[in-house]
Structure 1
Amino acid sequence: MKVFQAIEQRRAVKHYQVESEMPAEDFNKIMQAAILSPTSYNIQHWRFIRVTDQAQRYQIKEAAWGQEQITDACELLVLCADVNAWNDRPERYVANSPSATQSILLPMMKAFYEGKEQIQRDEAMRSCGIVAQTIMLAAKSLDYDTCPMVGFDTEEVARLIHLPKGHVIAMMIAIGKAKQAAHPRGGQLSLEEVLSENHF
C-alpha cells in the first residue's frame, strides 16, 4: 500500500475480528519501522509493552472502562517513554557519529534537558506521538487497523505493567483486523482553516 493511501485509509477502529492473529513477521516488520521514528538528539525515549497475556488484557480492559478493542484486537501495545533517557548513557545515541560531532552533541543534550522537567516530559511525549503514527501507518500498509487510545486509568495501567519510576504512559494502540468499519470522519476541518502563512 502506498503511504498516502495508508494515511487516507487509517481510522480509529473500535471493533476487531477476535479470531484474527498477526504473524510474527508482520509484528516485527511494524516494530522495526517504529524504531526508525525520529527523536530529538536521537534519544529514542519510547519503550513498548506488548501485552500478550489474555488475563492481563482483561485487567487493562477494566481499567479502560470496558473498551472491547483491548481484548479483541490481535495486538495491544502500551506506548511508554523514559523521561530520563537523555541522561541514560547518552553516548549510545551518537555512537555512530564522528567524534567531533559527539563532542558537540553530548554537552548540548545535557544543557538542553538538565533540570528542565517539563521539557523532558514534553520531548518524551512528542517522541511517542511520532512513533505512534509510524506504527499505525506501518500497520495499515500491511492491511491491519489500529486504534490509538488515551481513555483509560493511567495509574492502574501503570500498576499492571509495572511502569518503572521516571517513565510515563503516552497511549495504547490496539492493532488487528476490523470486524466493522469505523464511522465516517466526524467533521474534517478544511486546510484553509488550519493552515496560515507566516502568522495567524
Structure 2
Amino acid sequence: MNTTKLELTAEEVILSRHSVRKYQRDVTIPDAEWNEILELAFSAPSSWNLQHWRFLVVKEQANKDKLLPITYNQQQTSDASVVVIVLGDLQANLVAPDVYGQAKPEIRDMMIGQINGAYENNPQIARDEAIRNASLAAMQLMLAAKAKGYDSVPMGGYNAEALIKELNIPERYIPVMVLPIGKAQVEGRATDRLPINHQVIQESF
C-alpha cells in the first residue's frame, strides 16, 4: 500500500480550509505531529513580537465534555481531537524583557520603553492587541492543522464567564475563541464570498 503523504501547497491549504462541525470521535493527534502544528502556529507575527497568544489545550475527553454546555452544546466541542482555547494576553508588555533580552542594550531599552509607554494606563490598547494578535495566531493554527490533514472551526458561541471559571483562566488573559481541531466526519463546505470589488476600497473612501 502506498502511504506516501502528499504535501499541499500554501494555496491549496488556504482554499481547502473550511469550517468543520462534525468530527470523527476518538481520533488522537500524535504528540509529535501536534507539536509541529503548534510550532507552525507560533511563527505568526505579533505587535512588537510580544506573541500575545496563549493556547489552552484540552485533550482529555472528560474535560472536553465539560466544555459542551459552555459552548451551548455544539457537539464538535466534545468530538474533536483537541479543543484549543485561544487566549489573548492583556499584560503582554511584561514579556518584553524576555523578548528583547538578547538585543543590544540601547535597542532593548528603547523597545521596552516604547512598549510600556503604549500599555501604561491604556487598557484599550492592551485589549485590542491581545485580540488582534491572538487572532493572527489562531488563523495560522487553523492553516497549520489543515496542512497536516486536520480540520477546525473557530467558535465565538460560548459562555465566556463559565469558560473562565471552568478552566481557572487568570484575569490576565481574555478568551478570544474556542477552536476544535480534528478529523472531519463530514467535510466542511465552501461558502459564498462577496466579490473583491465589494470588499476592497482602492486608495480612499
TM over 0.5: yes
Q: Percent identity?
A: 28
**2:196 pairs with 172, 175, 191, which one?**
191
**Using a 3 Å threshold, how does the CA distance of structure 1 residues 19 and 52 change in structure 2: closer, same or farther?**
closer
The AA in structure 1 aligned to 2:121 is G
Q: Unpaired segments of 5 or more residues in structure 2?
A: 1-7
The equivalent of 2:118 in structure 1 is 112
SS in 1 for 2:36: helix
SS in 2 for 1:148: coil
SS in 2 for 1:76: strand
Question: What per-residue deviation string (whole Å, max 9, x for no partner) do you get for residues 82-140 of structure 1?
Answer: 20121x24211112322221121111111111111011100000011100011000001
Q: CA deviation at 1:169?
A: 0.3
Q: CA deviation at 1:44?
A: 1.3
**2:34 pairs with 24, 27, 30, which one?**
27
The AA in structure 1 aligned to 2:85 is V
Question: What per-residue deviation string (whole Å, max 9, x for no partner) do you get for residues 8-35 of structure 1?
Answer: 0101100001132211111100111122
The equivalent of 1:162 in structure 2 is 168
The AA in structure 2 aligned to 1:124 is A
* 1:1-200 correspondence to structure 2 within 5 Å: 1-86=8-93, 88-185=94-191, 187-200=192-205
Q: CA deviation at 1:197?
A: 1.5
The AA in structure 1 aligned to 2:21 is K
Please tell me whether the aligned partners of residues 18 and 190 of structure 2 are also in contact (alpha carbons under 8 angstroms): no
For residues 89 and 131 of structure 1, what CA distance do their matches in structure 2 show? Answer: 17
TM-align CA RMSD: 1.2
Normalising by structure 2, we get a TM-score of 0.92
Number of residue pairs aligned between Structure 1 and Structure 2: 198
Please tell me whether the aligned partners of residues 79 and 169 of structure 1 are also in contact (alpha carbons under 8 angstroms): yes
For residues 17 and 79 of structure 1, what CA distance do their matches in structure 2 show? Answer: 22
SS in 2 for 1:48: strand
Q: Unpaired segments of 5 or more residues in structure 1?
A: none
SS in 2 for 1:131: helix
Q: CA deviation at 1:42?
A: 1.2
Please tell me whether the aligned partners of residues 42 and 94 of structure 1 are also in contact (alpha carbons under 8 angstroms): no
Normalising by structure 1, we get a TM-score of 0.95
